[in-house]
Structure 1
Amino acid sequence: MLYYALVFLVVAIVAAFFGFGGIAGTSAGIAQILFFLFLVFFVISLITGIVRR
C-alpha cells in the first residue's frame, strides 16, 4: 500500500511539472489517502503484535 502511495505521489509531481493541475491534485489526494491507510494498518499491526506477546 505504501508503494501505491509513492506511485501516486510521483504521478502527482510529474503531472504538476507538466501543468496538469486536475490530475496532479487528484493523484496527490489519492496518495495522501493511501498513506494514511498505511499508517492506520501499521499501527493496528503493532498493537496486535504487542497484545499477542
Structure 2
Amino acid sequence: MELSAPTKIVFILSVLLAVLSLLPVFGLLVPVIGAYSYWLLVAAFVALAAANLLKGL
C-alpha cells in the first residue's frame, strides 16, 4: 500500500476542524462546539487519514 500526500484543501480542512475542536479546551466557550469537540477532532483525523490512504483526495 502506497501512501500519498493529502491535497492542500483536505489538509487545511482537517487543521481547521482540529483547531475548532480545541477552542473549548483553551477556555473559549462556544456552546455548539463544546458538546462535539471530541467528534470534530475525530473527523479531522479521519479526513487526514483518508486523504493519505486514497490517492487524489
TM value normalised by structure 1: 0.46
Higher fraction of helix: 1
Structure showing greater Rg: 1
Structure with more contact order per residue of length (Cα contacts < 8 Å, sep ≥ 6) = 2
